[in-house]
Chain A
Amino acid sequence: DGGITQSPKYLFRKEGQNVTLSCEQNLNHDAMYWYRQDPGQGLRLIYYSQIVNDFQKGDIAEGYSVSREKKESFPLTVTSAQKNPTAFYLCASSRIVRGENLFFGSGTQLSVL
């Protein structure tokens, strides 16, 4: 079955540590996205990519980094510069077509120890 796989489901970060969230899709979608979700604030775009080896900052990119070395994979690194990383992180993908819906992964809950 086609879909998006995020791992791990739960992740804990220590002070000063970088952590990487995994996102893999087998839908053959060109576009991939990372959203951060905080209670009462909806989903905010961190980074997105429409082609391998290229990506753009979203609305809240500070303290995060991404790579897109393969079409299927779009990992997100939460760096030590992100001072408030506790949130639910969602990865999504879509075709690059106007009015195309997003397919979401099941999310990763990141907490600070």
Chain B
Amino acid sequence: EADIYQTPRYLVIGTGKKITLECSQTMGHDKMYWYQQDPGMELHLIHYSYGVNSTEKGDLSSESTVSRIRTEHFPLTLESARPSHTSQYLCASSELGGTHFYGYTFGSGTRLTVV
């Protein structure tokens, strides 16, 4: 079973609301990532972190923000949700790179709908 957990699984929310998507992992991975994926489409990296107090923006510009106060926790926040934010958000984590890199572990995703 996955050792990375995302909540909620589904979220329908009104325009202008503030939301936080939760992501936690129990594997002690230093690296964590947020991807955005529209149905049937490719994944786009929106945020990543290489450790506590380290966060970077990804390749796709996003109005969301992230924080990394604890190794296991990497929440994503939208201050004011809009219909254009409707998408699936996938959280992932990985170990160190180089020869110790064995790929990402993904959570089950949060499907966000903003109405």
A complexed with B: no
CB within 8 Å of B: which residues of A? Answer: none
CB within 8 Å of A: which residues of B? Answer: none
